[in-house]
Amino acid sequence: MTTPAPHFYGLGAEFSSASSLMTAAEKVRDSGFRKWDVYSPFPIHGMDAAMGFSRSRVSFFSLIGGITGLTTAFILIYYTSALNYPLIVQGKPYFALEPSMPVFFELTVLLTAFGTIIGLLLLTLMPRLHHPVFNWDRFKRVSDDGFFIVLEAADPRFEKGASRRFLEELGGSHITEIFQDAEPQPHPARAEAQGHA
Amino acid sequence: MRADNPASQAAFLRASEYLDRKPLVSGKRSLAWITDHVCRIVEQPAPVWWWVATILTGALAALTPAMLTYLVATGVGVWGLNAPVAWAWDITNFVFWIGIGHAGTLISAILFLTRQKWRTSINRSAEAMTIFAVICAGIFPAFHVGRIWFAWWLFPIPNANAIWQNFRSPLLWDVFAVSTYFTVSLIFWYLGLIPDLASLRDRAKTRLRQMAYGLLSLGWRGSNRQWTHYEKAYLILAGISTPLVLSVHSVVSFDFATSIVPGWHTTIFPPYFVAGAIFGGFAMVLTLLIPFRELYGLHDLVTDKHIDNMCKITLLTGSLVGYAYAMEFFIAWYSGNPYELYAFINRATGPYWWAYWAMITCNVVAPQLFWFKTCRQNPWVVLAIVMFPNTGMWFERFVIIVTSIHRDFLPSSWGYFSPTWVDITLFIGTIGLFVFLFLLFVRFLPMITMFEVKNVTPEADPHHENGHETHGHPSPSPAARAHA
């Protein structure tokens, strides 16, 4: 293991299509890399398996949200209608399940949605203002039609020369060193990226 | 299956050509073309028609706060409603607008769960429409309470009277249903926007745009570690929005159905209201999308197939609504309840007969034209036809609400409702507000979900390239299992 300069983030490579990206991802997975990622303009069906991911845990947060919502609704209705100020309205019971159902349902849905969005933000570490990959000019195409793999220098298997060769073997092009901070050298790539649009 | 003789082969070819699915993005467009074509709407200087339309509808939208200010300053008596018609245009407009929203959620959630891929190019604008429609809807019940400064009593906040909201009342259920619907629709819409906002950020030429879209896209970078959670979150939101959209209009219908008013007290209301909401909503989606598709040249993304599909849904739901009208009438007779029967005969032949027959013509008769392919294929004919449901669904709510209460059980409490100029101007104001917000939306946000449209192109299929399936089922490696 080499010790790269502290501001060095990793090596990025561009791929020509979703299918070549997926083939490459499978090989990176099989080589045992842990700190790496695949970037694409849209979610690619089967990429989770190609990267060796297990199921997303967002649903856990949704469940917590849903349970909280239902509990809140129950406590809210029961406390206000039957405990704190019981009031006979139209001869109906203070508390009954039937008229409580709509509010039970709505608050369950509402807090499930909150749970889901909180879970998503926590698991994807969003929002964040910056990320080293944004220092790579070609990376702007990720939200257009670019497909990328970035191997992080922090991975124990990372070794600058060998990893570069590995990305080349996988069929990656425009292999670029990505840095943590602002770009250390002026960019010929910038003109290229703009010429693309 | 195929026989060897040439005649049956020719027949087979004809049949397969006929059955062949049309591509969802026509013209074999590339991924970059999709990004460019959608982002251009936001990036290029606004066309003249946009300024004209925005200023015009903005002026109309200004009527909304003007009328509301006048209402609050003067009193709720400036509206035409009075005993016995205590619910009139305000509640009609509320139900009308909230119903419009339902098509957006149907497209974004129900069509997503049923894997209807054609939804991808229309869901963004339909969801935006939902949000703007719910905003317009919320105005009416809030001001209908009369003393708007006490509107916070709708929410369970401890107050000086020390009493709580009545959770046994459908009106309170409505507060929860509508506010949940608005919030969840907004979250769902924003979630869908994040990757596309990142596209706008990455293409931004000015610092301001880069900052604005950069902050809004929350640092999205399209990494698969993000996509995996993103897709799950999207699926869950679609899953909960599906029963939610069905519940909202059901709860709205409870406002009427749980009363004892003849004409309101019917068990058919929840499904009937939901079908009507989807019907009116799809008509509004078509009304908005056909002109914008023309103005921005989006024919390859919002194809004739999309319009055709939406026409078919309009036909289906319009016919469901027609069935509900017939069934209501039948039950009114079959129930043997003279008040119930009178309420319905009064609807069709009483002083509001014109509203009833406008409703039948617009909602039941007009959509039947969509049985004909020629009607579904010409967008301008479609646009003309959907104007009928747009009008008819407003009349439906007016008929249900006003005709049922204008003749109470005793003839001494009979009345006739006529709107005042404030009623009319306020309604026009909300139409202006709705279109104004939509115009702002198409100007500042991507009106087509780029990443989802890209996902339904052939290029997005990881087995597409080279034609052979080299990695049809990527098997998890030992390393991957170790991760799990």
pLDDT digits (tens, 9 = 90+) for B188-201: 999 999 999 999 99
| CB-based contact, A60 to chain B, within 8 Å | no
How many Å is the maximal CA-CA distance in chain A?
A: 81
Would you place residue A4 in the very low, low, confident or very high pLDDT band (cuts 50, 70, 90)?
very low
Residues 207-226 of B with CB under 8 A from A: 214-215, 218-226
Q: Which of B30, B219, B247 sits opposite A128 (nearest CB)?
A: B219
Percent of chain B with pLDDT over 90: 75
- Whether B411 is covered by a domain: the verdict is yes
- Mean pLDDT (whole number) for A172-181: 89
Question: What pLDDT sits at residue B59?
Answer: 97
Task: Write the pLDDT tens digit of every residue in B297-330.
Answer: 998 899 999 999 999 999 999 999 999 999 999 9
Does residue B2 have a pLDDT over 90? no
Domain holding B392, by residue range, is 49-457
**For the purposes of burial, counting CB atoms within 10 Å of the CB of A69, is it exposed (0-12), middle (13-18) or buried (19 or more)?**
buried
In angstroms, what separates the C-alpha of B35 from chain A's closest C-alpha? 6
Residues 91-150 of A with CB under 8 A from B: 92, 96, 99-100, 102-103, 105-107, 109-110, 112-114, 116-117, 119-121, 123-124, 126-131, 133-134, 139-145
**What is the rounded CA–CA span in Å between residue B470 and residue A23?**
9
Question: What pLDDT sits at residue B227?
Answer: 95
| CB-based contact, B199 to chain A, within 8 Å | yes
- Mean pLDDT (whole number) for A125-148: 91
- Whether B4 is covered by a domain: the verdict is no
Question: What pLDDT sits at residue B6?
Answer: 67
Return the CATH number at B342: 1.20.1630.10
- Mean pLDDT (whole number) for B58-66: 97
- Mean pLDDT (whole number) for B82-109: 91
Does residue A118 have a pLDDT over 70? yes
User: Could you tell me the pTM of the whole model?
Assistant: 0.89
Q: How many domains does chain B have?
A: 1
- Whether B234 is covered by a domain: the verdict is yes
Q: What is the DSSP letter of B109?
A: I
**For the purposes of burial, counting CB atoms within 10 Å of the CB of B191, is it exposed (0-12), middle (13-18) or buried (19 or more)?**
middle
Find, among A70, A68, A95, A91, the residue nearest to A80 by Cα.
Answer: A95
Other residues' Cβ atoms within 10 Å of the Cβ of residue A16: 14
Q: Which amino acid is at B158?
A: P
In angstroms, what separates the C-alpha of B196 from chain A's closest C-alpha? 7
- Mean pLDDT (whole number) for B55-64: 97
Does residue A101 have a pLDDT over 90? yes
| Backbone φ/ψ region at B23: left (φ over 0), alpha (ψ -120 to 50), beta | beta
Would you place residue B360 in the very low, low, confident or very high pLDDT band (cuts 50, 70, 90)?
very high
CB contact under 8 A, B224 and A48: yes
Would you place residue B9 in the very low, low, confident or very high pLDDT band (cuts 50, 70, 90)?
low
Would you place residue B118 in the very low, low, confident or very high pLDDT band (cuts 50, 70, 90)?
confident
- Average confidence score pLDDT of chain B: 89
Task: Write the pLDDT tens digit of every residue in B260-303.
Answer: 999 999 999 999 999 999 999 999 999 999 999 999 999 889 99
Q: Give chain B positions within 8 Å (CB) of A46.
A: 462, 473-474
